[in-house]
Structure 1
Amino acid sequence: MLRLAGLIDGLNRGVARVLRWFALAMVLIQFGIVIGRYVFGVNSIWVQESVLYLHAMLFMLAAGYTLLVDKHVRVDIFYAKVTPAARRRIDIAGHLLFLLPSMAALAWWSWPSVRNSWRILEGPISVGGIEAVFLLKSLIPLFCALVALQSLAILARLFANEDAA
């Protein structure tokens, strides 16, 4: 089980390594948009939407990695003041009762929209934009899968540590 958890970690680390470049591309493209618009009077909706697509990919697909490195948002009302054993129980409960059911619900309820978008190859958000909204919507189930897989990897480690303790 821990070997599978390591493979999931590797998957999310690999995704994060690729996505780092998306952040750089997003900044450079946005800089180009500003220079093009205000210096040369040139504007492209397609290029503007490319920043939106990169931003969506960066945040949706990096969520599993963020969970892996424990840099996600955590409400530390009780967590910071309890023992490591209590933290482990809080983490297990959080993953089993909240995170995994949330990812399952989001995947379940978004799937018809994603499926329909692929069925019609849903076009651009704006006239002249990127003709691939179906790809943008596909980020939702990918987000759910990467976060849920990372949650399962964390749970495997939590249960393994509980057995060792």
Structure 2
Amino acid sequence: MPVNALLKLSRAIDALTERIGKIALWVVLIVVLISAGNAVMRYTLNFSSNAFLEVQWNLFGLIFLSCSGYTLLRNEHVRIDLISGRFSRRTQAWIDVFGILFFLMPMAVAILVLSWPVFMHAFESSEMSNSAGGLIVWPARLMVPVGFLLLIVQGISELIKRIGFLKGLCPDPTSKRNEVSAEEELARAIRQRKGAK
């Protein structure tokens, strides 16, 4: 498949990942509201629910796992800039290609493969939380393989972009595109929603 066609696929993957990241911003707000509501009920009404706590934990896990690909897209993942920052952009791209192929992909594929049977067991047995009033477990177990699948797909996109950059067909994918923080993005999205009403 020609690199230009692969770059088109990469742009589609990036658009999907970007959309997932934007949705996750709203999930962060939901988690904060549930957490605040749970705390208020606990201290004012002396009422607490394990289900509310587990919803918080599950949503936090959903944010973390679904946004791993978004973090990779935004080039915000952990890297050793102290070493790689001394090299040229082309050398850094080659280091990224090596890292994606020999570290990111094997790790993500292994976790996806190993977590799938854990999800299937929880789903087939209708496993419930050990906590009193807890929730069914399989949705939380499903987040792991889905999150790592999203990471693998974004890893493929990043690999395509690095190869495209090395061939001179696209700009440097490691350059920062947007310096706006996630919190600023959420605040902007809330203001836009209010303005639309």
The correspondence for 2:59, drawn from 30, 47, 54, is 54
1:115-126 maps to which residues of 2 (within 5 A)?
A: 115-126=120-131
Q: Distance in 1 between matches of 2:45 and 2:63?
A: 29
Q: Residues 19-78 of structure 1, C-alpha deviation per residue, up to 9 Å, x if partnerless?
A: 111100111111111111112211111111111111010101011101000111112231
Q: Distance in 2 between matches of 1:164 and 1:25?
A: 43
Look up the equivalent residue of 2:159 and give its one-letter code: L
The correspondence for 1:2, drawn from 3, 7, 29, is 7
Q: Residues 114-150 of structure 1, C-alpha deviation per residue, up to 9 Å, x if partnerless?
A: 111111122124120122x111010111111111111
Residue in structure 1 matched with residue 72 of structure 2 by the alignment = 67
**Number of equivalenced pairs:** 164
Greater RCO (Cα-Cα under 8 Å, separation 6 or more): 1
1:104 paired with 2:109, answer yes
Residue in structure 2 matched with residue 149 of structure 1 by the alignment = 153
Q: Shift of residue 98 of structure 1? A: 0.2
Q: Could you list the runs of 4 or more consecutive aligned residues of structure 1 that deviate by over 4 angstroms after TM superposition?
A: none
Q: Distance in 1 between matches of 2:66 and 2:83?
A: 29
Any idea what SS the aligned residue of 1:78 has? helix
1:33-44 maps to which residues of 2 (within 5 A)?
A: 33-44=38-49
Residue in structure 1 matched with residue 193 of structure 2 by the alignment = none
Q: Distance in 1 between matches of 2:49 and 2:119?
A: 27
The correspondence for 1:134, drawn from 134, 138, 142, is 138
Q: Distance in 2 between matches of 1:110 and 1:28?
A: 30
Q: TM-score, normalised by structure 1?
A: 0.95
Q: Distance in 1 between matches of 2:101 and 2:94?
A: 11
Q: TM-score, normalised by structure 2?
A: 0.80
Give the share of equivalent positions with the same residue, in percent.
28
